[in-house]
Chains A and B, each alone.
Chain A
Amino acid sequence: MQNNLIVSPTALTFAIILVAVALAINFKEHIGLEKDVLVGVIRAVIQLTVVGYVLTYIIKVDRVWLTLLMVAIIMLNAAWNARGRANGIPHAFVISLAAIATATILTLLLLVGAHAIAFVPSQVVPITGMIASNVMVATGLCYRSLNTSFHDQRQAVLERLALGADLKQASIVIVRTAIRTGMAPTVDSAKTVGLVSLPGMMSGLIFAGVDPTKAIMYQIMVTFMLLGATSLGSVIACYAAYPQFYNHDLQLR
């Protein structure tokens, strides 16, 4: 089962041809992404190599504190990235961290508590990565939706305020849309899972020779877990972010 999984350095070298294809298309069609493609390739190689060694070490050492440290680093990184998508919403890092950490930790606790996964680095770290990155994307989408709606619906928000609405009453329509936007990719992929794409985790297990009927059990778990985590993350992010659009005098900034 192990042998057919090894991607040899020769095989990887050949895969560079695929990068060359991407570059060639860029040049020929004047798409202008050559630099990004190259940066992406180089970053992917470096980051994944480092992560590969780090994970090997963490899994070998198998210390709780080290696993937790890794979980913390993943969440901090995810929060930092989400903040980058906030487009100036005040306190976006703290808000993102609260959303990502709460969603990730609660989901992890639930999974470990239910013995769906064991508290070993080889399971906790990848699952954390999966949850945190999905919540990160969800939070980013929430921010974008909030920014767009508060801009486009400025007048309607002002009118609600003028009628004597509190901040929540003035924003609730916008907040609901943002939460929906944040959850949409996860809900959509839950609807099409297996029909359109075989998700990464399930594909990986099947690759590794696990019986597909077993692999789907994991995928179902992952789907549930991501639904829960992105909903929770979106709700926390949106509820913490919408008041940032107002000042102390309950006026729109």
Chain B
Amino acid sequence: MTPIFELKQVGYKVDDQQILQQIDLTIQPGEFVTLAGPSGSGKSTLLRVLATLLTPTSGELWYNGQAQASYDKITYRREVSYCFQQPSLFGETVRDNLAFPFDIRKQAFDDTKATEALESVDLTASMLTKAITSLSGGEKQRVALIRNLLFPPKVLLLDEITTGLDGTTKAIVHRLINTMNQRGITVISVTHDEGEIAAASRLLQVVAGRLEVSADAK
């Protein structure tokens, strides 16, 4: 099977600071990979490189058997969806946020689809008209997550999206992500959460910009 990602000696450098170095990594389609490591070790940077928000300064990066650079960035980013650590919401209301994925695809807003998405994270359609400033942290995070999932991507890059959430909300988010993974979406998830690390099927450690492969946790 063609790996979904193949990284060969990938490095990322800003000015003189080597943030990522010599990353060798192969990920198969449908895998669920957990990335852990100390703060500032380069986890977010690695996800951003995978998401084409940063271009590697060295090495080779293959996506689906083709050089990442050969893809049209916009198409690629719709397939490889990056969820930010501490996302920001757009516009005024929740609807503005869920409308964005439709807008950029020049499609009309689909109420049913949006409602289903909200329900998948235990929110309701009445949420649509809510002002983004009135949302709780957990609600914000869930709205941001379904914004990435309204048009299901092939790969989901999650940057500590459960950090700061209470147990119940965490469980809701995990449930959705697992469903997505079971449908074949490759998930690469950065986390500091003990539970998530313990439950990881494939755990990778990023330390000082390098990848350290741990023994399989499960």
- Residues of B with C-beta under 8 A to A87: none
Which residues on B sit within 8 Å (CB–CB) of A249?
Answer: 52, 55, 73
Distance in angstroms between the alpha carbons of A179 and B36 in the assembled complex: 44
| B104 & A251 in contact (Cβ 8 Å cutoff) | no
Q: Nearest-CB distance from B150 to chain A (Å)?
A: 10
With contact pairs A166-B74, A250-B73, A250-B74 given, residues A158 and B53 touching in the complex (Cβ less than 8 Å): yes
Contact B90 A251 (CB under 8 A): no
Set B55, B73, B75, B88: member contacting A159, Cβ < 8 A: B88
Chain B residues, Cβ within 8 Å of A158: 53, 84
Interface centre among A160, A163, A166, A251 (most CB of B within 10 A): A163
Are the CB atoms of B82 and A162 closer together than 8 Å?
yes
Q: How far is the CA of A207 from the CA of B144 in the complex (A)?
A: 62
Do A166 and B87 touch across chains, with their CB atoms under 8 A apart? no
Q: Is A163 a contact of B100 with CB atoms below 8 Å? A: yes
Task: Give Cα distance in the complex from A89 to B177, angstroms.
Answer: 41
| Interfacial chain A residues near B82, Cβ < 8 Å | 162
Alpha-carbon distance between A7 and B78 when the two chains are bound, in angstroms: 69
Neighbouring B residues of A164 by C-beta, 8 Å: 74-75, 77-78, 81, 101, 104
Instruction: List residues of chain B with CB within 8 A of the CB of A165.
Output: 74, 100, 104
Cα(A251)–Cα(B103), bound, Å: 20
Shortest CB-to-CB span from B13 to chain A, Å, is 15
Cα-based distance from A218 to B47 in the complex (angstroms): 61
- Structural contact, B54 and A251, CB atoms closer than 8 A: yes
A56 within 8 Å of B (CB atoms): no
Distance in Å: Cβ of A81 to nearest Cβ of chain B: 33
B interface size (C-beta, 8 A): 24
Q: Mark A224-253, 1 if CB is under 8 A from B, else 0.
A: 000000000000000000000000011100
* A160:B90 contact, CB within 8 angstroms: yes
- Separation of A156 and B87 alpha carbons in the complex (Å): 8
Q: Is B141's beta carbon under 8 Å from chain A?
A: no
Kindly report which residue of chain A lies nearest to residue B82, judged by CB atoms.
A162
CB of A177 closer than 8 Å to a CB of B: no
- Check if B148 is an interface residue, CB within 8 A of chain A: yes
Q: Is the CB of B53 within 8 A of A161?
A: yes
Q: Are B84 and A163 neighbours in the complex by a CB distance under 8 Å?
A: no
Q: Are A155 and B88 in contact, CB atoms less than 8 angstroms apart?
A: yes
* Residue A49 lies at the interface, judged by CB distance under 8 Å to chain B: no
Query: Are B88 and A166 interface neighbours, CB within 8 A?
Result: no
- Tell me the nearest residue of chain B to A170, going by C-beta: B104
A161 partner residues in chain B, CB cutoff 8 A: 53, 77
Q: With an 8 A cutoff between CB atoms, is A169 at the interface?
A: yes
Binding site for B on A (CB under 8 A): 155-156, 158-166, 169, 173, 249-251
Q: Identify 11 residue pairs between A and B in the complex whose beta-carbon atoms are under 8 Å apart, listed by A's number.
A: A155-B84, A156-B88, A159-B144, A160-B104, A162-B82, A162-B84, A163-B77, A163-B81, A165-B104, A250-B52, A250-B73
Closest 7 pairs between A and B when the two form their complex, measured CB to CB = A164-B78, A164-B77, A162-B82, A250-B73, A165-B104, A156-B88, A169-B104
